[in-house]
Structure 1
Amino acid sequence: MSPIRLSDLAFTLEAVIDEAFGQKAVWVVAETSDIKNYPDRGYCFLTLVERESGKETVAKLDACIWRRNYHTINEFQQETGVAFARNIQLLLLVSVGFSPVYGLRLEILKIDPSYTLGNLERERQAVLDSLVTNRPDLVWREADQYITANQLLPRPTVMQRLALITAPNSDGWRDFRHELAQNPFGYDFVVDEFLTQVQGQGAERAICGRLDQIRTSGVAYDAVVIVRGGGSQLDFGSFDTYLMGETVAGFNIPILAGIGHERNVSITDLLCHQSVKTPTKAAAFLIEHNRQFEESCLLLRDRLRVVAHEALLSAREQLDRETERLRFVSQNFLRDRHTDLTEKAVTLRHLDPSNVLRRGYALLLRNGRILTQTTDVKSGEILQVQMRDGMITTKVVEL
């Protein structure tokens, strides 16, 4: 068999591939790898791979995104919140091309965001279903909502002693601390920091390790706050794991999550005591929670002032009524007593011996003592007779 030129083989391959795929586009599912992105130039080179469950590569092809379709990257990121990066499984619309010089290459025409979102949601749902099945004591469903032991913990009236889990010197750390420090009400917070990585491989175990430290610290924290700044959906993968969900759902202190992802709700968001999305909002939530307590105290103070004022007015009115009643009763009593005294004075005047003598009566006396019975008088003794106008002496002649 006579050999052929390489170019002849290449041109033959080009013709065959062009006949089979020319001007056609096909949807393929593949995982990204070896991305070389040039946003300033408007194109991207990458490798698409397919792996078996054991991570063995079974297919690998080079691919590119040219300027005319480069917008699909930004559209995908905006739609999904997932950064266009390596190791993401995507549904891609591609055209197949072969160049005798550059070889076989796929041109990516479009990225389907719904496929990626669906995959993420399926993975998240599988984790939630496992938690409900394996840990019904910590996580259960009621009316299409997930209820957890952490959510049912009583919320402290004032949240002031806090355990903060975040990455050191991160935007989330700065935003949270700044918002707390600058609160307009002058509230003081005691914050113990448990710094750790919050994204990347091993982040979930690092976060759960910090939660175990808090649990065994013996400090009576009012709440645990987990914060991190913004990022892509993949950056938040540590908050969507089984370990993280189980630890958060069963934690013995209320957990407040401000993990900075507005687009989707993570498993940690669903199962923690309160999710507020961003570090700044986490701080604002704590400030507002304490403000509500202060306002309730101020309302009670105002109510106490009103009630006390009304009670004093009522007591004063009651005192005035009782004073008037006492005055009326005492006046009647004194008037009655005055009448009694007047009547007794008249009686006394009538019974006054001088008045009795004026009416023609006389008093019989012995040595100045009045005699009232005949048995007290002896025959022949000398007695005195008191009359109205004077005293006479008499002798008892006969009894």
Structure 2
Amino acid sequence: MSPIRLSDLAFTLEAVIDEAFGQKAVWVVAETSDIKNYPDRGYCFLTLVDRESAGRETLAKMEACIWRRNYHTIGNFEQETGVAFARNIQLLLLVSVSYSPVYGLRLEILKIDPSYTLGNLERERQAVLDSLVKDHPDLIWLEAGQYITANQLLPRPAVMQRLALITAPNSDGWRDFRHELAQNPFGYDFVVDEFLTQVQGQGAERAICGQLERIRTNGVAYDAVVIVRGGGSQLDFGSFDTYLMGQTVAGFGIPILAGIGHERNISITDLLCHQSVKTPTKAAAFLIEHNRQFEESCLQLRERLRMVAREALLSARENLDRETERLRFVSHTYLRGRHTDLAEKAVTLRHLDPSNVLKRGYALLLRNGRILTHTTNIQPNETLQVQMYDGSINVVVSQ
């Protein structure tokens, strides 16, 4: 068989592929790899691979590109899914097939289907949740369509002041959280122990769970554990969607407050922790508002106590006035009765006054100034005195 030139073979392949795929688009499922993105130029080169699901063996690999006319599909995909266009994502792609004798076979990506990616992420997350419910029914269970966990049922302290903070060092989430706490308008003080660690990327879930174990065993009675990180793509939150994180958070013995994403992200950690808010700033605002509610209740109780005390004093004053008036009336009545008695006794005494008795014609018989009332001891020839109203005289007893 006579050899042919390479260009003849290439032109033949170009004709065959153009006949089979020219002016046609095909939906394919593939995983991204080796991405070279040039946003300023408006194009992107990448490799698409198809791997065996079990052993991750590569079954196929093809080069692909996104040209300027379709470059907007990357932004549309990221906006709709919250997932960064990055390597190792399985995507549903609308592609056209082309072959160049110089550049070889290449796929041009025309469109990315965001619903496929969202569905995959949701299926993976649901599978993790189903496994947690099955494996740990004492820590997590479904009730009226809602996931209930042991951590959610922990009593919330009236004041959350002693905090354990898990976050990345010098991150935006760390700065936002600490700034919001420090600048609270009520002047509340918080004691924050920092447990700094990576919160995204390979190994992040084990690093976070390791810090939770440190918090559990260090003997400090924390009011709450706060896990914060700034916003990012859905894949950046992968460490918060794992089986290990779900199990650790659901059964943790201290209330966990999660502020690990933005409005689009709801992770397994969000679903299973004691309280989920969307950002580090909102996590701090939640703690401030929680403590403010306690202060408000104290202020209301103080006002209620003031009102009760005022009412009690008014009632006591009214009772005192009433009893005072009653005492005044009783005393007046008693004294008036005593005054009448004294007046009657004074009249009696005046009647019994010896001078008044003498005035009525009576006389007193005295011996040496002592009144005699019996005749037994009176002797004949004894001199006695007779006291009359207007004076006294001496008499001699003759018989």
Q: TM-score, normalised by structure 2?
A: 0.93
Q: What is the distance in 1 between the residues matched to 2:66 and 2:249?
A: 41
Q: What is the distance in 2 between the residues matched to 1:381 and 1:60?
A: 170
Match of 2:125 in 1: 124
Report the residue type matching 1:112 in the other structure: D
Q: What is the distance in 2 between the residues matched to 1:59 and 1:217?
A: 51
User: Would you say the 8 A contact 1:224–1:255 is kept in 2?
Assistant: yes
Query: Is the deviation greater in 82-91 or in 169-178?
Result: 169-178
Q: Deviations over 1:62-93 (max 9, x none)?
A: 11111111111100000000000010001111
Query: Is the deviation greater in 326-335 or in 345-354?
Result: 326-335
Report the residue type matching 2:45 in the other structure: F
Q: What is the distance in 2 between the residues matched to 1:189 and 1:390?
A: 106
Match of 1:227 in 2: 228
Q: What is the distance in 2 between the residues matched to 1:17 and 1:264?
A: 43
User: Mapping of 1:9-28 within 5 angstroms?
Assistant: 9-28=9-28
Q: Deviations over 1:328-368 (max 9, x none)?
A: 22222222111111110001111122222333334444554
Match of 2:42 in 1: 42
Q: From the superposition, tell whether residues 18 and 381 of structure 1 become closer, same or farther in structure 2 (CA, over 3 Å).
A: farther
Match of 2:343 in 1: 342
User: Mapping of 1:189-268 within 5 angstroms?
Assistant: 189-268=190-269
Match of 2:91 in 1: 90
Q: Secondary structure at the match of 1:188?
A: coil
Number of residue-to-residue matches in the alignment: 396
Q: What is the distance in 2 between the residues matched to 1:192 and 1:149?
A: 24
User: Mapping of 1:1-399 within 5 angstroms?
Assistant: 1-52=1-52, 53-372=54-373, 376=376, 380=380, 382=382, 384-392=385-393, 393=395, 395=397, 397=399
Q: Deviations over 1:116-149 (max 9, x none)?
A: 1111111111111111111111111111111111
Q: What is the distance in 2 between the residues matched to 1:97 and 1:6?
A: 18
- Aligned-pair identity in percent equals 87
Q: What is the distance in 2 between the residues matched to 1:355 and 1:153?
A: 100
User: Would you say the 8 A contact 1:45–1:64 is kept in 2?
Assistant: yes
Report the residue type matching 1:302 in the other structure: E
Q: From the superposition, tell whether residues 12 and 381 of structure 1 become closer, same or farther in structure 2 (CA, over 3 Å).
A: farther
Report the residue type matching 1:40 in the other structure: D
Q: What is the distance in 2 between the residues matched to 1:80 and 1:161?
A: 37
Report the residue type matching 1:10 in the other structure: A
Q: Secondary structure at the match of 1:136?
A: coil
Q: What is the distance in 2 between the residues matched to 1:148 and 1:123?
A: 20
Report the residue type matching 1:290 in the other structure: N
Q: Deviations over 1:192-213 (max 9, x none)?
A: 1111111111000011111111
- In angstroms, what is the RMSD of aligned CA positions? 2.0
User: Would you say the 8 A contact 1:146–1:271 is kept in 2?
Assistant: yes
Q: Secondary structure at the match of 1:162?
A: strand
Q: What is the distance in 2 between the residues matched to 1:245 and 1:24?
A: 45
Report the residue type matching 1:42 in the other structure: G
In the TM superposition, residue 230 of structure 1 has moved relative to its aligned partner by: 1.2
Report the residue type matching 2:102 in the other structure: V
Q: Secondary structure at the match of 2:331?
A: helix
In the TM superposition, residue 254 of structure 1 has moved relative to its aligned partner by: 1.1
Gaps of 5+ in 1: none
Q: From the superposition, tell whether residues 331 and 396 of structure 1 become closer, same or farther in structure 2 (CA, over 3 Å).
A: farther
User: Would you say the 8 A contact 1:62–1:105 is kept in 2?
Assistant: yes
Q: What is the distance in 2 between the residues matched to 1:396 and 1:290?
A: 116
Q: TM-score, normalised by structure 1?
A: 0.93
Q: From the superposition, tell whether residues 384 and 196 of structure 1 become closer, same or farther in structure 2 (CA, over 3 Å).
A: same
Q: What is the distance in 2 between the residues matched to 1:270 and 1:372?
A: 117
Q: Secondary structure at the match of 1:165?
A: strand
Report the residue type matching 1:59 in the other structure: A
User: Would you say the 8 A contact 1:385–1:394 is kept in 2?
Assistant: no
Q: Deviations over 1:345-398 (max 9, x none)?
A: 001111122222333334444554445566x4768575554443444536464x
Q: What is the distance in 1 between the residues matched to 2:178 and 2:78?
A: 30
User: Would you say the 8 A contact 1:258–1:281 is kept in 2?
Assistant: yes
In the TM superposition, residue 4 of structure 1 has moved relative to its aligned partner by: 3.4
Report the residue type matching 1:120 in the other structure: L
Q: Deviations over 1:9-41 (max 9, x none)?
A: 333323332332222222111101111111111
